[in-house]
């Protein structure tokens, strides 16, 4: 049942358009800020740190079937980052504008964490430490079925403090599911504090993953080209982890690396400033 | 039960390639070992790691497989509880989690290995179905149902090996969600599930020798409960006796009493269960049950006294 790594290699993305990707990411961050004005609390900063990672997965990595639906799967293990998934699914026409307008509202179907069964949502997450196990099961199932489907998974760095994540890491390596590609959104912040201050034994990350039988590489998580190159250059034969260096709240100065923005929504003035900064950075 | 489960699973697995078994460092009994040899890729051992056992079966079910997770009942349900709740039940996936040694089967291993509260805990989760067959034949029927159902997650509570047969000649077949009369009478109705059925049958025999007309019901499906069947049992008997190897909180007995209250039923209901206490003594399975008041002698005399 095990296929060679070459047979499931992700095809090289010579056609990657960095400018178009940057423009999409600006649009996604703007849309998330728009939605933040409708509700009192949502996870803006945790979504902003994985905008480029998620954009790369949806627009460059996930392959499509002939009917247009996605062939490859995606598990947003850091469920609190799902705003970026929602706005991408909206743009792809999987979710509607009305879905997003009713985010966290009565009559709506989108909450602050993704719910399996909602169009485009491939796993219910929100409680941390579940996604890697689910993704490992999904990857193994595809191996058993003899397909070349790849499972992409985005996790927070904080999730790697959960023992369940390491149970999954060991098992994925044991099963040699080389169709599992995980991205750690390494923004260095839990809900409370900088992880590198409070949890020094958490580091180093790449050697840990390698010691557990994974292929691992550290990359700039806001540079899609670098992430795509890392994925295409993977050796294969084992699951892969990209430790993606990111900035929590990336793109809006007052949010960047400020813990309160894990939960807070901007007030109208902060909202306008945020939009201005995003637009200025795009020029 | 354990061996019949294994035989049945092996037979079904030969023709349905979606069936997989994921264990957490438990030795595969009987035909599961054969399954492992013949289908090595569909037998997965996660080691001493129950959270990934449950997480994995969720992911496998999402991609079209029909996995069973299999280990000692406490480790099927308690250790990975949030994975059972979120990954299996919240996502409502057709996965069976098998708990071996439900109740206090592992009588010498201490309370860490006693699944005293498993029925209450499993039943409390939305979408979860709970089945506890009483003998090997019923285990086979339940396993067949679990392997082919599309309803959602199931907790299948099994005993160990060597249970006697009570149901292979029963008039009524196993139907998920329906209680099952193994014997029909008109005076006392004894309801039980799981391996404690042996005690229920012994008590029924003694009562019959004393001239009482006794029904015996295997109430194998604890969730969803057969409310119609229970209402009928309440209205057609003079007394209900519930015998179960589980804690009183969230037990079948409390649910039947609540139902009887709602129905305005006047039929007396006597409930016998484990106590709400951990067990610090050791010995045979029967000895542990007896230490919590569950023995044929104790229950029989309580019924006689009240009658």
Nearest Cα residue in chain A from B80:
A164
CA A43/CA A112 separation, integer angstroms: 8
CA A172/CA A175 separation, integer angstroms: 5
Q: What beta strand segments (E) does chain B contain?
A: 19-23, 43-45, 66-72, 96-100, 129-131, 154-157, 180-183, 188-192, 214-218, 221-223, 239-243, 269-272
CA B32/CA B10 separation, integer angstroms: 6
**CA atoms in the 13 A half-sphere facing the CB of A71:** 15
Inter-chain CB proximity A175 and B62 less than 8 Å: no
Nearest Cα residue in chain B from A117:
B91
ipTM field: 0.96
Inter-chain CB proximity B63 and A142 less than 8 Å: yes
Beta carbon pairs, A and B, within 8 Å: 105
Chain A residues close to B65, C-beta within 8 Å: 141, 144-145
Cα distances (angstroms) measured from residue A170 to each of A175, A211, A239, B288: 9, 10, 10, 39
Q: Chain A interface residues facing chain B, Cβ-Cβ under 8 Å? A: 1, 73, 116-117, 122-124, 126-127, 129-130, 132-145, 149, 163-164, 167-168, 170-171, 175
Closest partner CB to A136 (pick from B47, B52, B82)? B52
- In tens, the pLDDT along A213-271 reads 999 999 999 999 999 999 999 999 999 999 999 999 999 999 999 988 988 889 999 99
Instruction: Compute the residue count for chain B.
Output: 307
Chain A residues close to B51, C-beta within 8 Å: 129, 133, 163-164, 167-168
Q: At a CB cut-off of 8 Å and minimum separation 6, what does A280 contact? A: none
Domain membership flag for residue A65 = yes
Domain membership flag for residue A7 = no
| DSSP codes of every residue in B53-92 | HHHHHHHHHHTT-EEEEEEEHHHHHTTTHHIIIIIIIITT
Q: Domain residues for A97? A: 19-282
At what angle are helices A131-145 and B50-62 packed, to 10 degrees?
A: 50
Domain membership flag for residue A6 = no
* Closest-CA residue to A78 (of A40, A119, A113, A103): A113
CATH of the domain at A225: 3.40.50.970
* Closest-CA residue to A142 (of A199, A230, A73): A73
Range of lowest pLDDT (A36-45, A176-185, B153-162, B222-231): A36-45
- In tens, the pLDDT along A58-103 reads 999 999 999 999 999 999 999 999 999 999 999 999 999 999 999 9
Q: What is the arithmetic mean of pLDDT over A49-57?
A: 98
Asked whether the beta carbons of B103 and B75 are under 8 A apart, the reply is no
The angle formed by the CA atoms of residues B208, B213 and B219, to the nearest 5 degrees, is 95
pLDDT (tens, 9 = 90+) of chain B, 307 residues, equals 999 999 999 999 999 999 999 999 998 778 999 999 999 999 999 999 999 999 999 999 999 999 999 999 999 999 999 999 999 999 999 999 999 999 999 999 999 999 999 999 999 999 999 999 999 999 999 999 999 999 999 999 999 878 899 999 999 999 999 999 999 999 999 999 999 999 999 999 999 999 999 999 999 999 999 999 999 999 999 999 999 999 999 999 999 999 999 999 999 999 999 999 999 999 999 999 999 999 999 999 999 987 6
Residue B82 touches partner A, C-beta closer than 8 Å:
yes
Domain membership flag for residue A228 = yes
Domain membership flag for residue A112 = yes
Question: What structural domains and CATH numbers belong to chain B?
Answer: 2-157 (3.40.50.970), 180-306 (3.40.50.920)
**CA pseudo-torsion sign B107, B109, B112, B118:** negative
Domain membership flag for residue A14 = no
What pLDDT is stored for residue A14 in this prediction? 57
Chain B residues close to A126, C-beta within 8 Å: 86
Give A145 to chain B, closest Cα distance, Å. 9
Inter-chain CB proximity A163 and B62 less than 8 Å: no
Nearest Cα residue in chain A from B42:
A144
Residue B52 touches partner A, C-beta closer than 8 Å:
yes
Chain B residues close to A163, C-beta within 8 Å: 51
Give A134 to chain B, closest Cα distance, Å. 4
Give A87 to chain B, closest Cα distance, Å. 22
Mutate to test the interface with A, among B18, B48, B56 (most CBs of A within 10 A): B56
- In tens, the pLDDT along A187-218 reads 999 888 899 998 999 999 999 999 999 999 99
Nearest Cα residue in chain A from B46:
A171
Going by pLDDT thresholds of 50, 70 and 90, the confidence category of residue A185 is very high
Structural domain total, chain A: 1
CA B40/CA A5 separation, integer angstroms: 21
What pLDDT is stored for residue A6 in this prediction? 42
What pLDDT is stored for residue A192 in this prediction? 84
Closest partner CB to A168 (pick from B20, B52, B92)? B52
Q: Is the pLDDT of residue A5 over 70?
A: no
Inter-chain CB proximity A116 and B63 less than 8 Å: no
Inter-chain CB proximity B59 and A139 less than 8 Å: yes
* Closest-CA residue to B25 (of B53, B48, B51, B42): B48
Domain membership flag for residue A258 = yes
Q: Is the pLDDT of residue A162 over 70?
A: yes
What pLDDT is stored for residue B307 in this prediction? 61
* Closest-CA residue to A130 (of B82, B79, B70, B121): B82
Give B238 to chain A, closest Cα distance, Å. 48
Inter-chain CB proximity A73 and B49 less than 8 Å: no
For residues A249-260, one letter each, b for 16 or more C-beta atoms within 10 angstroms of the residue's C-beta and e for the rest, the string is bbbbeebbbebe
CA B67/CA B65 separation, integer angstroms: 6
- In tens, the pLDDT along A114-146 reads 999 999 999 999 999 999 999 999 999 999 999
3-state SS string over chain A?
CCCCCHHHCCCCCCCCCHHHHHHHHHHHHHHHHHHHCCCCECCHHHHHHCHHHHHHHHHHHCCECCCCCECCEEEECCHHHHHHHHHHHHHCCCCCHHHHHCCCCCCCCCCCCCCECECCCCCCCCCCCCHHHHHHHHHHHHHHHCCCCCEEEEEECHHHHCHHHHHHHHHHHHCCCCCEEEEEEECCECCCCEHHHHCHHHCCCHHHHHHCCCEEEEEECCCHHHHHHHHHCCCCCCCEEEEEECCCCCCCCCCCCCHHHHCECCCHHHHHHHHHHHHHHHC
Residue B199 touches partner A, C-beta closer than 8 Å:
no
Domain membership flag for residue A5 = no
Inter-chain CB proximity A123 and B91 less than 8 Å: yes
Chain A residues close to B82, C-beta within 8 Å: 127, 130
**CA atoms in the 13 A half-sphere facing the CB of B49:** 22
**CA pseudo-torsion sign A74, A77, A79, A81:** negative
Asked whether the beta carbons of A153 and A62 are under 8 A apart, the reply is no
């Amino acid at each position: 049942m095990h296929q060679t790594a070459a047979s499931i290699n992700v095809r090289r993305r010579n056609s990657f358009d960095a400018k178009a990707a940057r423009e999409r990411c600006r649009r996604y961050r703007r849309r998330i800020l728009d939605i933040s004005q409708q509700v009192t609390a949502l996870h803006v900063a945790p979504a902003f740190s994985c905008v480029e990672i998620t954009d790369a997965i949806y627009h460059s990595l996930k392959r499509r079937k002939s009917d247009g639906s996605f062939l490859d799967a995606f598990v947003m293990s850091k469920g609190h980052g799902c705003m970026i998934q929602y706005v991408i699914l909206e743009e792809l026409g999987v979710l509607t504008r009305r879905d997003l307008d009713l985010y966290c509202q009565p009559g709506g179907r989108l909450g602050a964490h993704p719910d399996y069964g909602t169009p485009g949502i491939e796993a219910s997450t929100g409680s941390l430490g579940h996604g890697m196990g689910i993704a490992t099961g999904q990857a193994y199932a595809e191996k058993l079925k003899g397909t070349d489907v790849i499972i992409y998974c985005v996790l927070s760095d904080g999730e790697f403090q959960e023992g369940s994540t390491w149970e999954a890491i060991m098992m994925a390596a044991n099963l040699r599911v080389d169709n599992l590609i995980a991205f750690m959104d390494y923004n260095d912040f839990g809900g409370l504090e900088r992880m590198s201050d409070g949890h020094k034994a958490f580091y180093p990350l790449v050697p840990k993953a390698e010691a557990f039988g994974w292929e691992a590489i550290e990359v700039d998580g806001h540079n899609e080209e670098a992430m795509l190159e890392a994925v295409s250059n993977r050796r294969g034969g084992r699951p892969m982890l990209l430790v993606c260096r990111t900035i929590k709240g990336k793109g809006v100065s007052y949010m960047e690396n400020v813990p309160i923005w894990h939960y807070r929504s901007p007030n109208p003035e902060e909202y306008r400033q945020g939009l201005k900064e995003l637009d200025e950075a795009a020029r | 039960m354990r061996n019949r489960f294994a035989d049945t699973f092996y037979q079904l697995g030969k023709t349905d390639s979606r069936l997989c078994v994921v264990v957490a460092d438990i030795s595969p009994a009987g035909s599961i070992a054969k399954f492992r040899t013949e289908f090595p890729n569909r037998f997965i051992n996660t080691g001493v790691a129950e959270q990934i056992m449950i997480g994995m079966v969720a992911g496998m079910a999402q991609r079209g497989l029909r996995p069973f997770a299999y280990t000692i009942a406490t480790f099927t349900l308690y250790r990975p509880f949030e994975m059972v709740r979120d990954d299996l039940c919240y996502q409502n996936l057709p996965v069976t989690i098998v708990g071996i040694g439900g109740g206090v089967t592992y009588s010498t291993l201490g309370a860490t290995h006693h699944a005293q509260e498993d029925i209450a805990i499993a039943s409390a989760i939305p979408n979860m179905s709970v089945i506890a067959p009483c003998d090997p034949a019923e285990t086979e029927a339940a396993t067949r149902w679990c392997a082919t159902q599309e309803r959602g997650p199931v907790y299948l509570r099994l005993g160990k090996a060597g249970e006697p047969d009570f149901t292979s000649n029963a008039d009524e077949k196993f139907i998920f969600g329906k209680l099952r009369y193994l014997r029909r009478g008109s005076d006392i109705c004894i309801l039980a599930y799981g391996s404690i059925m042996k005690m229920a049958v012994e008590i029924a025999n003694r009562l019959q020798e004393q001239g009482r007309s006794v029904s015996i019901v295997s109430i194998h499906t604890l969730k969803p409960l057969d409310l119609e069947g229970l209402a009928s049992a309440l209205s057609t008997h003079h007394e209900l006796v519930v015998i179960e190897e589980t804690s009183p909180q969230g037990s079948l007995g409390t649910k039947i009493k609540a139902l009887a209250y709602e129905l305005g039923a006047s039929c007396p209901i006597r409930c016998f269960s484990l106590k709400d206490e951990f067990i610090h003594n050791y010995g045979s399975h029967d000895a542990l049950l007896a230490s919590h008041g569950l023995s044929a002698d104790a229950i029989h005399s309580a019924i006689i006294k009240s009658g």
